[in-house]
Chain A
């Protein structure tokens, strides 16, 4: 009986010999070992890649952090990087201010207000926004949104630019092209909208019918039911959806690089042409011209960005995982 390879046996599977030989293991099932090895190897490779990313970033950032300021293309590191860190957080925050309410509203619209049959189609339409490449968003931002928003900016500056607190945001002179951080934040908001909407939509659809019906049975209007049953249930999901959106907004490069007209400043002016750039946007702009330790400095700013987005994303995933129903895996 040839059992050199367990798989390509030429004898029938039903050996009529009644001894143990036909049932015996043959070389501990070679195929299984190989397959399992490849699979676990691939998984381990991912961990290796991630470790490599961290290592290389840190490794090449160190020269920038330890060298003297005179040797650095961009000067002392932290004073170089801080405005960009500020810009990154500021732009992302602005984007979230616009994106979150609209995204939640859209998610509610699709899950609870739109006709059932259209719901999936409407979801697809919003998801189309996610398919648009960021460079195209940049083109649109420069060409359409900036000029369109400019009259509004002028109106804002004229009416609120001199006031006490609001003046910090709305002071003039208004940028001639409309390419301000506010415009960039709006583009960013449109880009992260699909992510927040998609997750929130799923969360809302999973509200237990029991709770919804309990609310309706008490005579609640639809909006009251949503406030009573859907939103409380979905809050953790919404939070993590927002954090994922935030992570995306923090890391977005092209829309910022193209729409913003940058300056190395830290302020809250939304309408002028001097805008703080973001880390990512700055890397995109400066990289082609960088040399020597300047490259290391840019990489170091990238490391800062990586750490920020890592923290945000890990927190979001942790919150999501505590609500097992939304994690997708079963």
Chain B
């Protein structure tokens, strides 16, 4: 009954040896059930072990069954399908688990107090993260003010002015290199820069903004460059043919056409750096009170706040953990929100083609 090569032509060979349609699902259920039963007998039945062993049992059984009925080639094909599907499901687990956990544990402190109080004079219960939220807004805002113009104009240079020049090739290569700088290294750079200029041990929000800019600029450059390349060359030509100089063509035709994509790219870059902890640890540091001056004194930011609340809690520990989770939830909401806004803008504001 084993059909290993299907080189025979009679019509049965085209339809012979196929497992019925829902065999896989049925087998999966059976395998898991058997595993659960057997493991329970040994007292080792936990959800994880049932799933893992059950899955393995399923794979082995299906392989044997399919190999016998459908042939080894089809059996391998099935295995491949089940394995890649399984991998996808495995990847979903951390995502779901993480979001679930964060929501479950973070909701406890998602109250008005969390968003209006800092940690000033707070020893145990109470307090909030308003200083951290402000810090994140200020630091990220300044980083954006620095990164967006530099990134935008560099991308304009790469697309509109240089073509094959050597400076352009160097810039492109090093922008790619910059995307690989570890975030802690960017933080160390900003720290050393400020130590050099202002003396050792200077913590400030601005130093943090510089560190974030090092991380943000390359992503802005790459996404804006991509957007500018999408603008059809014919639009530039139409503008030149009207006698419009190059810089006006860029400013008034190319940029407006690419605007939606550029905004999306910027929003996504912000989303990427707003959750960075390591560089801010060594530059902006942490403090318990609200500090809105980015040029002096440590400034708390949301990720660093979460980190310290969790890793160095006071006594009792629980309020600190609760605040940490609430901060984590806030952070996730902000980042996911920015991502959603970015994609929404791209979708809604692409150059109008409607009637």
Contacts and interface: CB of A to CB of B under 8 A. Distances in A.
Interface of A: 6-7, 13, 29, 31-32, 34-36, 38-47, 49-50, 52-53, 56-57, 59-60, 101-102, 105-106, 108-110, 113-114, 122, 125-126, 128-129, 131-140, 142-145, 148, 151-152, 190, 193, 197, 219, 221-224, 226, 244, 247-248, 250-254, 257-258, 280, 283-284, 287-288, 295, 298-299, 302, 305-306, 309-310, 312-314, 316-317, 328-330
B335 A133 contact: yes
A31 B245 contact: yes
A126 B157 contact: no
A151 B251 CA distance: 62
B121 interface: no
Which has the most chain B C-beta neighbours within 10 Å: A50, A110, A247, A328? A50
Contacts of B94: 129, 140, 145, 190
A330 B77 contact: no
Interface stretch (B19-27, B28-36, B85-93, B123-131): B85-93
A44 B185 CA distance: 21
Contacts of A314: 177, 180
B328 A251 contact: no
B185 A305 contact: yes
Given A35-B247, A126-B91, A129-B95, 5 more contacts: A35-B246, A106-B84, A143-B105, A222-B77, A312-B180
A53 B77 contact: no
Given A42-B154, A50-B177, A253-B182, A32 B246 contact: yes
Given A46-B178, A306-B185, A128 B336 contact: yes
Contacts of B158: 43
A139 B180 contact: no
Contacts of B90: 102
Nearest to B186: A53
| 7 pairs of A and B residues whose beta carbons are closest in the complex | A251-B182, A133-B275, A313-B180, A105-B87, A39-B157, A35-B247, A42-B153
B311 A258 contact: yes
Contacts of A222: 77, 80-81
Nearest to A143: B101
A53 B196 CA distance: 13
A63 B162 CA distance: 41
Interface string B92-115: 101101100110010000000000
Interface in B260-319: 271, 274-278, 281-282, 285, 303, 306-307, 310-311
B161 interface: yes
B65 interface: no
B48 interface: yes
Contact of B281 (A47, A137, A287, A299): A287
Interface in B153-203: 153-154, 156-158, 160-162, 167-168, 170-186, 188-189, 192-193, 195-196, 200
A97 to B, nearest CB: 14
A139 B188 contact: no
Nearest to A151: B46
B217 A46 contact: yes
Prevailing SS type, chain B contact patch: helix
A283 B188 contact: yes
B177 A45 contact: no
B248 A7 contact: yes
A36 B157 CA distance: 7
B318 to A, nearest CB: 13
B156 A329 contact: no
A43 B328 contact: no
B157 A43 contact: yes
A151 B182 contact: no
Contacts of B46: 151
B259 interface: no
Contact of A137 (B98, B149, B154, B176): B98
A47 B193 contact: no
A106 B154 contact: no
A49 B87 contact: no
